[in-house]
Homo-oligomer: A and B are copies of this chain.
Amino acid sequence: MKEEDFLQIIKTIIGDKYIGDDCAYLKDLGIVISQDNLVEDVHFSLKYMTPYDIGYKSAMVNLSDIASSGGIPKYITVGLSLPKHISKEFVKDFYNGLTDALDEVEIIGGDITGAEKIMISVTAIGIDRDRKISSRKNAKTGQVVVTSGPHGSSAGGLKLLQQGEKEKNVLIDAHICPKAQTKFAQKIAENIKEDYAMMDSSDGLADAVFKIAKASKKTLVLDFNKIIFDKELKEQFPKNYKDMILYGGEDYQIISTIPKELADYLNLNIIGKVEDYDNTDVKIINYGERDLNISDLENCYNHFE
């Protein structure tokens, strides 16, 4: 079964009051909360990542969720399930990676248990003091689409690692040590006056804009020429770089729909706009000889993989 199918079942049992965004927003407590599971050989491999890297990334993916909801990351708890053969050094390096990613965020507890493979579950808590909380269903016609940085780099880095590349470069760095775009998200959250959509590109740029379009019942039009990517990506993958930019995951950039005036005021990279729904979820112009219309993301993934 696929995640989407599972989510459908869960929705029928518990409702969808809180399901749909990367974080749950608990208005009564003034907090946003997010949880992510990272499983060995599903989300990371000890072949390509050190214990430090794994710790760093475990914290970072959750901080990215909090940031992209408009919250200020404050605390995390860490549930760690480890095989018996794991050494003291692993745990030390893992926690050093965690703490280096956390900045002013505090680790406040969690759980340690046994397991056959490494399983990490991090829960992050953010506060929403004096700011609007985003939701992917809030894109409004007339808003522009902005992003915080290059797309496709992490997918390119993973591919290089899988091909046996040992030397670090900008793509491999993007895969191993992605940075939560907290400052970018906070600039928007602090200045926005109206409802807005914001999420991170953990599952890829196309996935993010598609989910915002679907949830908001709008058509998002992106200009491929405006999307930033690393030069290295095109050099290394001249045939595939466009697919990697659109469908590659784990760049953890922020995608947001905000008023054009705010994007200009903050000097942000505008890559598209929100229009009334016209039977296509996402349109990508300047993509190639023909514009790309995405109304079924599943097919695009199959193409990419």
Which one of A35-43, A188-196, A288-296 is at the interface? A35-43
Whether a CB of chain B sits under 8 angstroms from the CB of A107 is yes
| Nearest CB of chain B from residue A84's CB, rounded to whole Å | 8
* Residues on B with beta carbons closer than 8 Å to the beta carbon of A6: 80, 82, 88, 91, 112
Q: Mark A21-43, 1 if CB is under 8 A from B, else 0.
A: 00110100111011111110111
Partner of A13, one of B95, B110, B114: B95
Whether a CB of chain B sits under 8 angstroms from the CB of A77 is yes
CB <8 Å contact, A35 and B79: yes
Whether a CB of chain B sits under 8 angstroms from the CB of A153 is no
CB <8 Å contact, A77 and B9: no
CB <8 Å contact, A14 and B123: no
Whether a CB of chain B sits under 8 angstroms from the CB of A116 is yes
CB <8 Å contact, B42 and A109: no
| Nearest CB of chain B from residue A43's CB, rounded to whole Å | 7
* Residues on B with beta carbons closer than 8 Å to the beta carbon of A77: 24, 33-35, 123
Chain A residues within 8 Å of chain B by Cβ, number? 61
CB <8 Å contact, B26 and A115: no
Whether a CB of chain B sits under 8 angstroms from the CB of A266 is no
- Counting every copy of the chain, the complex holds 2
Whether a CB of chain B sits under 8 angstroms from the CB of A86 is yes
* Residues on B with beta carbons closer than 8 Å to the beta carbon of A33: 75, 77, 108-109, 123, 125
Query: Chain B CB within 10 Å — which of A10, A39, A109 has the most?
Result: A109
Whether a CB of chain B sits under 8 angstroms from the CB of A92 is yes
Within 111-127 of A, Cβ neighbours of B (below 8 Å) are at: 111-117, 119, 121, 123, 125, 127
CB <8 Å contact, B121 and A35: yes
Q: List 9 A-B contacts (CB under 8 A).
A: A1-B87, A9-B92, A18-B108, A33-B77, A35-B111, A37-B79, A37-B119, A37-B121, A115-B119
Other than A1-B84, A24-B109, A35-B121, give 4 A-B pairs with Cβ distance below 8 A. A18-B109, A24-B77, A41-B116, A116-B116
Seen from chain A, the residues whose Cβ lies within 8 Å of a Cβ on chain B are 1, 3, 5-7, 9-10, 13-14, 17-19, 23-24, 26, 29-31, 33-39, 41-43, 75, 77-82, 84, 86-88, 91-92, 95-96, 99, 106-117, 119, 121, 123, 125, 127
